[in-house]
Amino acid sequence: MQIHTPDWVKHAVFYQIFPDRFAKSTQPHKRLLNNAQWEDWDSFPTLQGYKGGDLWGIIEQLDYIQSLGVNAIYFTPIFQSASNHRYHTHDYYQIDPLLGGNTAFKELLDAAHERNIKIVLDGVFNHASRGIFFFHDILENGPHSPWVDWFKIQGWPLAPYTGDAPANYESWADIRSLPVFNHDNPEVREYIMEIAEYWVLVGIDGWRLDVPFEIKTPGFWQEFRDRVKAINPDAYIVGEVWGDSRQWLDGKQFDGVMNYLFTGPTIAFTAGNRVNLEMVKGRDYEVFPPLFANEYAQKIEDLLNLYPWEIQLTQLNLLASHDTARLITIADGDVATVKLATLLLLTFPGAPSIYYGDEVGLPGGLDPDCRRGFPLQTSWNLELLELHRELINLRHQYIALRIGSYEVIYAEKTLFVFARSWENEELMIAVNVGEESVTASFDGGNLECKPQNLLFGNGEIRWDNENISLNIPARSGCVFG
């Protein structure tokens, strides 16, 4: 079977935004709430407080986003919800009024598309919230509700708010505020399919699917893909699956997943023994123990052999997200780790995703701390910002970094060297994660163009016929072309 994935994703650099925390609009807009009690923007985020970021604020920051070289945005949920992260959906057809409602979203979609920036929304289709109309009707009318079969009711009475009695309905991770849909009910299935179609018709460019592995109904995701792609064959469908995703990446379901199988080893290699284990507790990716270059190479080659190449090119690669601590905090403040990992991220096949604020060194521990307000310019790490801009620009400049083949050339101790090649374009990337500079000689016979111009970073290269001599400073990386 010929697998087809959206071409634009292969050339995309994503920016992940948590809308309550990115930007507040400074312009006057008609709002439902004019004197809302927001949490202080720079204080530590709480589980239930809002900081008042909105979609108009994001529109005002599109110049900044574009200046990074970003050409796609993935938003965590923006539908009406009674939580700051909006994974508790109340109404899938309404953008949350705190974010500016459907009007602000339409403005944002148009403004982004004018700049050739794609928009991907978060689809939370496994569970809804206690506040969604259908479940609320059950809470009001018990077994008499016509919507009883839309959820997995196990007995009466339901106990949605108190832990003293059994909940009597299935909820995600046993969180009572998140009742799970009954996807085996054809009406529920149709309801979800129509939501997916509706927003693609409105103009979004794809869906990121929350915990899709929880939906076990046969054929569900195949139908989802068929119906979304019937409207827009280039819509991106990316699932949140943290491990081996072969069962969803068969070309009939998702175009890619959030590639935590890249994240884990990349952090283990670049951060090494700096990893603060408290910051990775309970997360489904392996960032410890530290990896040497040869072990990292093995993990990367295993990953690249796991899925078809057409799928590899549309994986969503990341170093952090709203579900993890931020890399700079995992690495105990070590900026070099962030630089090394970002170099590996932006030279890897698939679409890189930058979590808002990572590009300016925003710290943050496990949820909710990883969802801080975007910092004021006075707190930006300008060196990291420049690094992101430079590497994103390099990625856009060289097609080999986007769709070229990936070949490990040398991996010993702390030095990892690989090549990206496309037709007559060839780049060599070298990363030294060690505390001392490294000199190495090895055979470069597979490289036809003999890359020797330094395009990024610091390092020295010498060619002697087919033999390469490299010198790479401590804790640094470079790109030769």
Query: Catalytic positions, please?
Result: 210, 240
HEC per residue, the chain = CCCCCCHHHHCCCEEEECHHHCCCCCCCCCCCCCCCCCCCCCCCCCCCCCCCCCHHHHHHCHHHHHHCCCCEEEECCCEEECCCCCCCEEEEEEECHHHCHHHHHHHHHHHHHHCCCEEEEEECCCECCCCCHHHHHHHHHHHHCCCHHHECECCCCCCCCCCCCCCCECEHHHCCCCEEECCCCHHHHHHHHHHHHHHHHHCCCEEEECCHHHCCCCCHHHHHHHHHHHHCCCCEEEECCCCCCCCCCCCCCCCEEECHHHHHHHHHHHHHHHCCHHHHCCCCCCCCCCCCHHHHHHHHHHHHCCCCHHHHCCCEEECCCCCCCCHHHHCCCCHHHHHHHHHHHHCCCCEEEEECCHHHCCCCCCCCHHHCCCCCHHHCCHHHHHHHHHHHHHHHHCCHHHHCEEEEEEEECCEEEEEEEECCEEEEEEEECCCCCEEEEEECCCCCCCCCCEEEECCEEEEECCEEEEEECCCEEEEEC
